[in-house]
Structures are given as structure tokens and as C-alpha cells.
Amino acid sequence: MNSNTSTEENQQPSDYQYDTIIIGTGPGGEGAAMNLAKHHQRVAVVERHVAVGGGCTHWGTIPSKALRHSVSRLTEYNQNPLFSDEENFKKLTFPEILKHAESVISKQTRLRGSFYDRNNVTVYHGEASFVDQHTLAIQYNDGSQEELTAKNIIIASGSRPYRPENIDFTHNRIFDSDTILSLKNNPKHIIIYGAGVIGCEYASIFRGLGIRVDLINTRERLLSFMDAEIADALSYHFWNNGVVIRHNEEFERVEANDDGVVVYLKSGKKMKTDCFLYANGRTGNTDRLNLKDVGLIADQRGQLKVNERYRTDIDNIYAVGDVIGYPSLASAAFDQGRIAALGIIKGDSSLCLIQDIPAGIYTIPEMSSVGKNEQELTAAKIPYEVGRAQFKHLARAQITGTLVGSLKILFHRETKEILGIHCFGERASEIVHIGQAIMQQENGGNNIEYFVNTTFNYPTMAEAFRVAALNGLNRLF
């Protein structure tokens, strides 16, 4: 590979090899690259791995949700009265359900790769680091290196699991949320440290496979950013299915040997397990970017500060996705990439991320929400009312056997404006979008009475909105 000299400040845009180079091909990088390419920019992306897609496709969102789907279908099969007898009872191991995840990853990788091909975006597979604000050095696996120049650079390098220095992640019984995909056997018992989104999702997966699960939560309750009733529903469901949750606990040390892993907690408790999964926090992939040479400083979590258009303190350098922190969602990262690209194209843009970003947590059953929760509305002294629908009363839920769950609509008592929607149950992440669409309506269109006055297909899970709306409106006086 030929090397190019570093860009000097007096270079003109036509002197750059590209209009924009993007570091990373996850959702944020892809969103930026596609929008820029559609506007006829010369675009390149740099991906450190052998295939595009980023952590989202290879280790995070896609594989974990594929695993969850397999376990959920297994659970449905074994609980269905048509099949639930000793002769038909089916068991699967973790390595077996990984095969489905690997198939999905392969399909996603090919699909995402075709996007770059069709839009004439050049893909470089190597490790990127800054030379100056317009120049990147690309280090290839064969040891060669070249420099690329661009008028603008977007950092979309994603994040990785946080690893405490006093835990030996090289041991074959200790995993993080990336390396757990290399698990070769089915443990009888697993301890999951960290009860955030990732920890809860993997607790569902392993428990669904019949594996004994201890979930160590460093906080007082599960998923405190969610509506309290919905989070409590998950907590009860875990308890009812045999997951042991230990709240307000922190580890003192973790010792691993050929016989197992012993976790010593600061409270004095001692626990032994076959397998230990550390799932407590993530850090931005910025440590290898040589940020100091362009005057950027990442915080202790490896994250960068940006403005509302995702521009860093350096005018031509942008950052999107996990490297800027909240909300750290694949869906939001894609939109952030598009918005950053539009800022580059137009110089400025009124487009911004929506205020009410939906959250989907793929436990078994799922949780999803959009808008405000009861705690937030109570603290803000907003007069609201609640409408509820239990899934067990819906004909579609009875037909499919997915009776666990409920939908909750929060709305303003006086204006009847929908303020928040919270759902727990199978397909919750799909169901919540029906309400989200109404919440986004303007000029009086956001009104809970919509669900009473419209006609739903029957039988469907969408009917839950009509049931919840009637339930809430009946509370008014």
C-alpha cells in the first residue's frame, strides 16, 4: 500500500482523497455512510474486523436477540399443551442455539456489505488512528500501513465490555458479553454480574435453557430507568422462574480454577459456579485512535463530547453511537449517523434525534417503553391517569399461549394526551410502536381516544391499546 503524506492546513477540499471517512461500520457508521453516499460524497469507511457490521452485528444486538428468539420458541414449544408431555419435551444447549445466531450474523454481514458496494463506499479493513485532523493512518493485519485523507471524519467506533483489571478474562470459565458467544458447553450454573439490560437478557437466555442462574445486581432494583411496575413485573417473573437476584451487591474478588469460579462479595457472601459472566458496563473504543494528536480527550468511559449535531470540539470531526454515551442504542446510533451526515452536507441542519426514543429490552418476556414513566410524571406534578390491559384477557394471547404480560398507557387527565407507553410481554418491542406513532401526531392527534374510535383487526395483540384506553378513560370523573 502506498502512503500519503499528512494533510497540511492549506490543502483544498479537492486535494483530499475523500470527502468523509467514517471509522466503524456499526449502525452509526452505516447511517452516516449511506446518507453521505446518497448525496454523492466520496465516502470511505474503516472497519477493524474482517467483516462489516460492527459490534452490533457480531457480538451485541443481533446474536443476543437471535439467541433469545431460539430460547423463547423452545419455551413456547415445551409449554404448549399440544406438545408438552415427556415424550415431546425438548432440550437445547447453548452451543446448539448459537448455530442460529451464527446464521443470522452471516446473513446480516452479507446484506450490510452489499449496501457499501451498491453505494460505491470504499471499505478499508484495518485499525484507524489519527495523524492529524484530516489524516488517518490505517494499520493492516499483514503489518502494512497507509494514510488516508478526508475533509471530514466521523468516529463511529462503538464500544466494548468494560473489564476490571482484577478479573482474569483469559480463564476459560470467565466471560464478558462478547466472549460468551464462544462458550463451548452447557454449564449447570452461571453467575451473571451486572443486572442491566445485557445481564437481564442473558439471565433470561440461560434460565430458558434450564441452567441455574444467579444475577448479581449492584443497585437496589432491576432496570431503574424503566417504569417501576414494568421492572417489577420482570423481577417477579425472574423470581417465579428460579432466577436468584442479589441486589445491592459488589464483588470483592473472583477466583477461577479448573474446578469452577468462586465469587467473593463485599457483603461477605461467597458463591461458586461453573461459569461467570461479567456484564457490568461498557467503554468506548477510543483508546487506539490517537486522539491526542488532534486535541480530543475521551472521558474515563472512553466517550467523546459532541454538540447537538454530533460535532466534537474539532470542527471537521464528528462522533456518533456508543462513543458518545447515552442512549447507546443501535436504533439511535443509525439516526445519529444520518444527522451527522446531513450536518456535513448542508453545513447545518434542523434534523435532530426524536425526544421520546423507544427502549426495547429483549428478556423473556420482552419489555419496551416510550415516553415518560410514572415516577417522572409524579415528580413533575403532571396530572396523569393510567390505562391497563392484561394480555391474558386478549383472544390472540390465548390462542398463541403468550398470556404473561400487560400494556400500560399514561395520559394527561385533562388533555388526554398520551405521555408514556409501557409494555411487558411477548412482542412488547413491536407492540409499543403502535402507541409511539400516535404520540408523534401533532395538532391534537396525540389523544388516547384514538384507540377507542379506531377499528383493530381481531384477534390481535394491538387490541391491548383499545382495552387499555377504555380502562383509563373509565377512571376519569
The answer on 130 and 155 residing in a single domain is yes
The answer on 258 and 209 residing in a single domain is yes
CATH number at residue 383: 3.30.390.30
CA-CA-CA-CA torsion sign (229, 231, 236, 237): positive
Query: What is the average pLDDT score of the chain?
Result: 94
- Domain assignment present for residue 182? The answer is yes
Distance (Å, whole) CA 370 – CA 37: 32
Q: List C-alpha distances in Å: 127 to 120, 136, 312, 410.
A: 21, 10, 21, 47
The answer on 185 and 311 residing in a single domain is no
The answer on 44 and 143 residing in a single domain is yes
- Longest CA–CA span in the chain (Å) reads 77
Strand residues in 65-156 grouped as ranges (E):
122-125, 127-132, 135-139, 145-155
- Domain assignment present for residue 169? The answer is no
Q: What is the pLDDT of residues 385-435, one digit of tens each?
A: 999 999 999 999 999 989 999 999 999 999 999 999 999 999 999 999 999
Q: Which of 120, 71, 75, 111 is nearest to 93 (CA)?
A: 71
State the pLDDT confidence band at 76, using cuts at 50, 70 and 90: confident
pLDDT of residue 10: 53
Into how many domains does the chain fold? 3
Q: Which of 291, 317, 346 is the last residue of a domain?
A: 346
CATH number at residue 234: 3.50.50.60
State the pLDDT confidence band at 11, using cuts at 50, 70 and 90: low
The answer on 24 and 139 residing in a single domain is yes
In this prediction, residues 18-46 reach a mean pLDDT of 98
- What secondary structure does DSSP assign to 38-80, as a single string? HTT--EEEEESSSSSSHHHHHTSHHHHHHHHHHHHHHHHHHH-
Q: Which tops the pLDDT comparison, 44 or 351?
A: 44
pLDDT of residue 4: 39
Distance (Å, whole) CA 201 – CA 215: 11
pLDDT of residue 393: 97
The answer on 128 and 21 residing in a single domain is yes
Q: Which of 253, 280, 307 is the last residue of a domain?
A: 280
Q: Which of 293, 315, 346 is the last residue of a domain?
A: 346
Instruction: Give the residue ranges of DSSP H helices in 275-427.
Output: 330-346, 374-379, 395-400
What's the domain range around 397?
A: 365-473
- Domain assignment present for residue 456? The answer is yes
Q: List C-alpha distances in Å: 368 to 388, 402, 430.
A: 15, 16, 8
The answer on 211 and 276 residing in a single domain is yes
Asked whether the predicted pLDDT for residue 83 surpasses 80, the reply is: no
pTM as predicted: 0.93
The answer on 292 and 156 residing in a single domain is yes
Distance (Å, whole) CA 67 – CA 469: 34
- Domain assignment present for residue 3? The answer is no
Q: What is the pLDDT of residues 153-204, one digit of tens each?
A: 999 999 999 999 999 999 999 999 999 999 999 999 999 999 999 999 999 9
The answer on 117 and 230 residing in a single domain is no
State the pLDDT confidence band at 14, using cuts at 50, 70 and 90: low
- Domain assignment present for residue 107? The answer is yes
- What element of type H or E holds 276? strand 275-278
The answer on 294 and 265 residing in a single domain is no
- Domain assignment present for residue 243? The answer is yes
Q: Half-sphere exposure of residue 249, counting CA atoms within 13 Å on the CB side?
A: 24
The answer on 287 and 236 residing in a single domain is no
- Domain assignment present for residue 334? The answer is yes
The answer on 241 and 151 residing in a single domain is no
- Domain assignment present for residue 128? The answer is yes
